[in-house]
Amino acid sequence: MTSLISEPRIALNALAKREGVHLSTCWRWCLRGVKGHKLESFNVGGKKFTTIPAFERWLALINGGPVANGQTLRQREREIERAERRAAKLGV
């Protein structure tokens, strides 16, 4: 959350206008998410904010695009599965 607060913020209503969607859509992205991923957000004085970098990360996640270390979501999931199998094999 610390990195989110240090990024330049954008109000959800401004994000809705920027992306051409209804404000309730942005709220839904934050509260319920899409494909199991919620848009990172925070409140300041009763107003809901996110950041453009957080929105871009979220878009990458829900679309299977690059995430941490330039990996796609599917590549990351496979890497985790391999690590879990190795750990199980080692008895960890």
Each residue of 40-80: pLDDT tens digit?
999 999 899 999 999 988 998 888 765 555 666 677 778 88
Question: Structural domain tally of the chain?
Answer: 1
Counting Cβ atoms within 10 Å, is residue 62 exposed (0-12), middle (13-18) or buried (19+)?
A: middle
Neighbours of 57 (CB within 10 A): 19
**Range of the structural domain that residue 35 is part of:** 2-90
Residue 50 in 3-state DSSP? strand
With 0.85 as the threshold, say if the pTM is over it: no
CA gap 30, 90 in Å, rounded:
39
